[in-house]
């Protein structure tokens, strides 16, 4: 094998750059190395994609603030119809009108059927007195939030589930959008569908802020989520497809840093803009700038060549070479010579779809394994991220801590991806997330500091697992199905995301049950990820045939890659 590799190396080295493309069919990776696999051009792409991506965590975690339920109790005006409570202080009015909970605070969902004046004398226990459900709505503590969904549409008490459902409805939209945009961007291109996702997100995002009913709000949030997931999956694919083998890891990690920074910014924005309608408009605003800067984002050269659009591919590759000071390498390369680049089989008019993910045995196995892995990653991450009320800390501080832990998590992910490889990084971060979540179940609830530390560590590892899975998935699927594969995987992951808010309601059945489920799913998904192939320092697969045959890092491949650099 080494002898064959040496001969192949000698043959390749004997050609000038333009002769290499003319003499034989070559991989896209070699062409990308000629024009610069990670230079100013790739940095500019990342910078342009960060603009729309900052709004992703804003919207994905928005429910922590707009759906927060402030302290509330029944409106007791009906008990004071005759002014019989007029001479009492506010505290005394609450004492005779609303039963006290175990911690001494007024009950949230019940009131006495008539004033219990004897309670002012402590003559009996309020728990033994007859109560009724709130008759005239609720009074809310507006000291933290000027307004929220719960106060606007009265999503409390027996309607509390609807408040949680707003997150589920949003993520169902994200789930549907993952499938739709995955297919559309493989069929019509990354750039065009990216603009469509911008416009959908802006339109329905702003419309949701003007909703006059819960039903209208739910529908608008569904379509907002659908548009936002297009931004998420298309931007990461564009980033990875323009990066060479040696820099795919750093490119994927850099573009994911915007999520961590935005997660830390969100509590500050929510603190300053504490009206839910204004907050939605504020976090959607960056997309306006994204629409303006969209024209400078390039189409994927891989996708263009795979679809026979050689003139456009040559244009973008020329821009890349010029920006990276490699223009001399493309001086004698004409658009028609790009037909010699091996990026997809001779496909004619063939259009790939999600059905191609299950037509062959190894593609079916890959789809199954990535689906389970994505479900575990997303289910656990959002199960932790959307439950920030269990710290016993200020809501804004908790969200900031959750965001701050993501920065070192990105660094951990980068080191692990580079040193341990993709597979073991994915497995390790998932299982460690599950272990941390399980430990919080065992620690007594009165040990708040210990629970907080372990929960924050779990959040950090869950973020690291998300960083790994995005990059890992883009490397596992071939170019002709990459967007479909990522769209499908994201779809399955969003099923887990949609279930996470509802699972948190199971604490009424057994308090630790949600954490037990999050722990179990993370550990199981981690072991499943062991069955995936390693992709570290391996060329991106271009065709389905590349998946069906065993992809190994041969010495020949390594020499070709080094020559390209």
Q: Could you read off the pLDDT tens digit of each residue along the chain, which spans 565 residues?
A: 344 343 333 333 333 444 444 444 667 888 888 899 899 999 999 999 999 999 999 999 999 999 988 889 999 888 877 777 877 888 888 888 999 887 778 899 999 988 888 888 865 666 678 889 998 899 998 888 889 999 999 999 988 889 889 999 999 999 899 889 988 998 899 999 999 999 999 999 999 999 999 999 999 999 999 999 999 989 988 998 999 888 888 888 888 888 889 999 999 999 999 999 999 999 999 999 999 999 999 999 989 988 889 999 999 999 999 999 988 877 767 787 787 775 544 444 567 888 999 989 999 999 999 999 999 999 999 999 988 776 566 889 888 998 999 889 988 888 999 899 999 999 999 999 999 999 999 988 788 788 888 999 999 999 999 989 988 998 999 988 887 898 899 889 989 999 998 898 888 889 899 999 999 999 999 999 999 999 988 888 888 888 887 544 433 344 343 433 3
Q: In sequence order, which residues have a C-beta less than 8 Å from that of residue 123 and are 6 or more positions away? A: none
Q: CA 400, CA 469: separation in Å to the nearest integer?
A: 24
Based on its alpha-carbon atoms, the radius of gyration of the chain, rounded to whole angstroms, reads: 28
DSSP string spanning 340-404?
GEESS---TT----GGGGSSSHHHHHHHHHHHHHHHHHHHHHHHHHT--SSSSS-HHHHHHHHHH
Strands 26-27 and 341-342: parallel
Secondary structure class of 322 (helix, strand, coil): helix
- Residue 239's closest CA among 218, 247, 503, 69? 247
540: Cβ contacts below 8 Å, ≥ 6 apart? 28, 29, 240, 241, 245, 248, 474, 475, 478, 479, 482
Largest interatomic CA distance in the chain: 101
- Residues 27 and 30: their CA atoms lie apart, in Å, by 6
């Amino acid at each position: 094998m080494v002898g064959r590799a040496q001969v192949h190396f000698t043959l390749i080295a004997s050609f000038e750059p333009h002769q290499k493309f003319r003499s034989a069919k070559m991989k896209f990776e070699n062409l990308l190395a000629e024009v610069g696999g990670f230079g100013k051009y790739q940095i500019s792409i990342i910078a342009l994609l960060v603009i729309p991506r900052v709004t992703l965590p804003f919207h994905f975690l928005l429910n922590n603030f707009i759906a927060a339920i402030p302290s509330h109790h029944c409106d007791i005006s009906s008990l004071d119809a005759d002014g019989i409570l007029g001479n009492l202080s506010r505290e005394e009015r609450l004492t005779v009108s609303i039963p006290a909970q175990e911690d001494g605070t007024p009950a949230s969902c019940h009131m006495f059927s008539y004033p219990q004046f004897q309670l002012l004398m402590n003559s009996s226990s309020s728990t033994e007195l007859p109560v009724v459900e709130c008759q005239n709505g609720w009074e809310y503590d507006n000291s933290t939030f000027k307004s929220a969904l719960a106060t606007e549409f009265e999503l409390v008490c027996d309607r509390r589930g609807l408040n949680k459902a707003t997150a589920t409805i949003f993520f169902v939209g994200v789930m549907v959008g993952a499938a739709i945009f995955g297919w559309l961007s493989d069929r019509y291109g990354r750039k065009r569908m990216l603009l469509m996702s911008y416009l959908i997100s802006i339109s329905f995002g702003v419309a949701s802020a003007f909703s006059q009913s819960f039903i209208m709000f739910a529908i608008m949030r569904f379509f907002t989520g659908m548009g936002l997931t297009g931004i998420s999956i298309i931007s990461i694919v564009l980033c990875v497809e323009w990066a060479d083998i040696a820099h795919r890891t750093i490119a994927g990690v850099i573009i994911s840093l915007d999520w961590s920074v935005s997660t830390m910014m969100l509590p500050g924005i929510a603190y300053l803009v504490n009206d839910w309608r204004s907050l939605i408009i504020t976090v959607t605003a960056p997309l306006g700038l994204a629409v303006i800067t969209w024209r400078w984002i390039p189409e994927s050269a891989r996708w263009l060549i795979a679809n026979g659009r050689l003139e456009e591919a040559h244009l973008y590759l020329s821009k890349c070479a010029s920006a990276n000071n490699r223009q001399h390498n493309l001086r004698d390369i004409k658009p028609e010579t790009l037909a010699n680049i091996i990026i997809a089989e001779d496909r004619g008019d063939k259009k790939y779809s999600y059905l191609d993910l299950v037509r062959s045995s190894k593609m079916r196995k890959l789809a199954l394994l990535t689906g389970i892995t994505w479900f575990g990653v997303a289910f656990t991450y959002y199960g932790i991220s959307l439950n920030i009320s269990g710290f016993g800390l200020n809501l804004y501080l908790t969200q900031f801590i959750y965001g701050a832990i993501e920065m070192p998590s990105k660094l951990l992910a980068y080191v692990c991806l580079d040193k341990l490889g993709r597979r073991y990084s994915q497995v390790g971060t998932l299982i460690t997330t599950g272990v941390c979540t399980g430990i919080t179940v065992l620690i007594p609830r009165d040990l708040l500091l210990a629970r907080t530390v372990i929960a924050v560590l779990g959040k950090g590892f869950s973020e690291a697992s998300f960083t790994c899975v995005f990059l890992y998935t883009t490397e596992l699927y071939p170019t002709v199905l990459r967007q479909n594969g990522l769209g499908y995987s994201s779809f399955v992951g969003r099923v887990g995301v949609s279930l996470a808010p509802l699972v948190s309601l199971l604490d009424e059945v057994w308090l630790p049950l949600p954490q037990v489920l999050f722990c179990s799913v993370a550990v199981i998904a981690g072991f499943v990820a062991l069955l995936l192939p390693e992709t570290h320092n391996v060329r991106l697969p271009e065709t389905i045939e590349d998946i069906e045959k065993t992809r190994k890092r041969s010495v020949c491949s390594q020499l070709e890659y080094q020559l390209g650099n």
